[in-house]
C-alpha cells in the first residue's frame, strides 16, 4: 500500500468519482500522517488517498463493524409455534435461569449435575430397551460412560474446591487467631466487671473443653457443612 504521489484535488476527485460500487470507506493518510478509513464525502484537501499496487483506491465495502443479526422469520405458522415453544422452554429452564442470574454461582453446578444425572438415566433406559429388543448397545454404553466420567470429574473438582475452604485448625496462623479470640474474650469479661477469680474459673473450664477432642469435633462439623 502506498500513495503514488502527492495528489492534487483534481486527482482525488477523479479517484472518488471512480470508486467501486458499494464503497463505504476509503483509506487515507490525513494531515497529521495518520492512516484511517473515511467516508468519501469526508475526505478533505489535507487527506491523501492510499492506492494499492494497481493504482486503485483502497476501499471498504459494506458498513464497518459487526454485521447486524438477521432476524429470519419462520417459514410457516406451524414452524413458528415450534420456535415460540422452544424459546419459552429455554427461558424457563432451571439451568438457563441459574446461569443467567449468576454464572459463577453454586446453583449452576447443581443444575449441571442434575442435568447430567438425567441424561445418564435416559441413556440407561435406552440401553435397556435396546438390549430387550436384541439391538446393539455398545454405542449407548460408550455415551453413558462419557457422561458418567464427566459428571464424576465435575463432582470431584467441586468437592476438592469445597474441602480447600475447610479451615486448618492445626495451622500456626489458626493458633494465633485462637489466642487473639481468647484475649478478646478475657478483655470483654473484664470490661463487664467480672471479678478476676471468676474470669480464671471460666478460662479453666474453657481450657478443659478445648482439650477434650475439640479440634476433631470442629473439623467434623466443618466437613459436614461442605
- Reading the chain (226 residues) residue by residue, the pLDDT tens digits are 444 457 888 888 889 998 988 888 999 998 888 899 999 999 988 899 998 888 889 998 866 556 666 677 788 888 888 888 988 888 888 888 888 888 877 788 889 999 999 999 999 999 999 999 999 999 999 999 999 999 999 888 877 776 666 666 777 778 888 889 999 998 998 889 989 899 999 998 888 888 878 888 887 787 776 5
Q: How far apart are CA 161 and CA 157, in angstroms?
A: 6
pLDDT confidence of residue 67? 62
What Rg, from alpha-carbon coordinates, does the chain have? 36
- What is the phi-psi region of residue 65: left when phi exceeds 0, alpha when psi lies from -120 to 50, beta otherwise? left
pLDDT of residue 149: 93
In 32-171, beta strands by DSSP E: 35-38, 48-49, 59-61
pLDDT of residue 4: 47
pLDDT at 3: 45
Q: What is d(CA 97, CA 84) in angstroms, rounded to the nearest whole number?
A: 18
State which H helix or E strand residue 145 sits in.
Answer: helix 138-164
Angle of helix 196-211 versus helix 214-225 axis, rounded to 10: 70
Question: What pLDDT score does 53 carry?
Answer: 83
* Per-residue pLDDT at 225: 61
Three-state SS at 38: strand
Helix pair 172-191, 196-211: axis angle to 10 deg: 150
Q: How far is residue 57's CA from residue 201's CA, in Å, rounded to a whole number?
A: 94
* pTM score, whole prediction: 0.43
Amino acid at each position: 500500500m502506498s500513495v503514488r504521489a502527492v495528489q492534487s484535488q483534481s486527482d482525488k476527485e477523479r479517484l472518488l468519482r471512480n470508486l467501486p460500487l458499494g464503497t463505504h470507506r476509503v483509506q487515507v493518510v490525513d494531515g497529521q500522517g495518520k492512516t484511517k478509513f473515511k467516508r468519501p464525502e469526508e475526505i478533505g484537501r489535507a487527506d491523501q488517498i492510499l492506492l494499492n499496487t494497481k493504482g486503485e483506491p483502497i476501499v471498504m465495502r459494506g458498513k464497518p463493524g459487526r454485521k447486524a443479526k438477521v432476524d429470519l422469520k419462520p417459514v410457516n405458522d406451524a414452524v413458528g409455534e415450534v420456535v415460540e415453544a422452544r424459546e419459552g422452554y429455554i427461558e424457563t429452564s432451571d439451568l438457563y435461569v441459574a446461569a443467567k442470574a449468576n454464572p459463577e454461582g453454586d446453583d449452576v453446578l447443581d443444575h449441571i449435575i442434575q442435568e447430567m444425572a438425567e441424561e445418564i438415566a435416559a441413556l440407561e433406559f435406552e440401553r435397556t430397551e435396546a438390549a430387550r429388543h436384541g439391538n446393539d448397545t455398545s454405542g449407548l454404553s460408550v455415551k453413558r460412560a462419557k457422561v458418567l466420567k464427566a459428571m464424576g470429574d465435575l463432582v470431584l473438582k467441586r468437592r476438592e474446591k469445597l474441602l480447600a475452604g475447610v479451615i486448618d485448625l492445626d495451622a500456626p496462623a489458626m493458633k494465633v487467631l485462637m489466642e487473639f479470640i481468647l484475649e478478646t474474650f478475657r478483655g470483654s469479661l473484664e470490661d463487664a466487671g467480672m471479678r478476676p477469680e471468676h474470669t480464671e474459673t471460666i478460662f479453666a473450664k474453657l481450657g478443659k473443653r478445648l482439650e477434650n477432642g475439640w479440634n476433631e469435633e470442629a473439623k467434623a462439623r466443618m466437613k459436614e457443612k461442605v
